[in-house]
Structure 1
Amino acid sequence: MTRDDSGAASDADDQLLVLPDDLRHELKEPLGPIETDAEVLLEAVDGPLIAVGDVVTYHFLEAGRPPDVALVDERTKRDAVDEEIRETVTESTHIEAVNPPTEITADVVRALRDGLEREEPTTILVEGEEDLVVLPAIIAAPEGASVVYGQPDEGMVHVKVTDDHRAEMRALLDRFEGDADRLWDLLDRE
């Protein structure tokens, strides 16, 4: 169930897509260049910044640049993040959403859209797993935005959003199991 900072709730009604086993290997390849230093990466950011992952979000906060939208789940590499990271990245949680591992739910897509529409930096605390939200985030983000996520044991992957990236993500998500048309409806709402 999504709850915003006013306490209002909406239905976490259902899963939209599920990652099929045969696509897992494709998602292991980074979608953009990898950087290990948040301050260096931030030099290439000149639009909205969407961070997916607790450690990535933590590095941006430590560098003094809160992401415009951050998606965190209090985990890294399937283990709980340490207390300092957890407290830092969840300190200003504005939205909560449910998104089980290997899925993309309507709840997390609505939370993403809400976060992108807000003027102030917004953190979305995901119950479950936020990893796959990178894909709809690239589609929903404005042209020139930066979507950054962690590549385990390598660094931060930086995707500068273009129409080509959006088309690639749509094609990839069309190969997931589930209701891609409903996902497009949720993402395309203005």
Structure 2
Amino acid sequence: MWFLPEKHRKKFREPFGELFPDITSALEYAGDAPLYAVGDVVTRNIRRKGIVPNLSVIDGNTMREPCRCTPLLPVKRIEVKNPAGCITDELISALENAVLDPPALIHVEGEEDLAVIPLVNLLEDGCAILYGQPCEGVVVRIVDSDAKRRAKELFSLFEEI
């Protein structure tokens, strides 16, 4: 398991991609790219547009409060544990399996926020990851070599425990 020390957390508050005010503009930017969603609200909003993402990663919370809008998706469901501020081997393994056999929903007991980091390096170039930026909108990260480089830089800030 990898833990993100408090001293590095501020680096994760900046959007890791392009920030949009709403799901409509985020989806327009993503275009026809294969979609991957991290977060309950983003997943619900994508689903409301009639789209089932290749992968959704949710935890049943939004801004650390229970989310009453957790979407029900007609896809296989994978349950994992991942404590806040961490990335577990269990989460990484679930992401790997889901990417190989979409569509899927990973339900995290704990927190899913940091799943974007390993997910970037599991996806092919051209895929789009959407996640919520609290109180600001939706971030879209198109996977490319720069995204993978940046994800590796961010992952290097974690400590293995």
Is TM (by shorter chain) over 0.5?
yes
Alignment of 1:9-158 (within 5 A): 15=1, 17-45=2-30, 46-82=32-68, 85-86=69-70, 88-89=71-72, 92=75, 94-118=77-101, 120-158=102-140
CA RMSD in angstroms, aligned pairs only: 1.5
* Larger CA Rg, structure 1 vs 2: 1
Quote the sequence identity (%).
35
Separation in 2, partners of 1:104, 1:158: 21
Separation in 2, partners of 1:73, 1:171: 25
* AA matched with 1:56: V
Q: TM-score, normalised by structure 2?
A: 0.93
Aligned length: 160
Separation in 1, partners of 2:74, 2:126: 28
Separation in 1, partners of 2:103, 2:75: 9
* AA matched with 1:109: I
Q: Secondary structure at the match of 2:114?
A: helix
Q: 4+ runs of 1 displaced by more than 3 Å?
A: 89-93
2:3·2:85 contact (CA, 8 Å) conserved in 1? Answer: yes
User: How big is the shift at 1:24?
Assistant: 0.6
Change (3 A) 1:154 1:77: same
User: How big is the shift at 1:65?
Assistant: 0.9
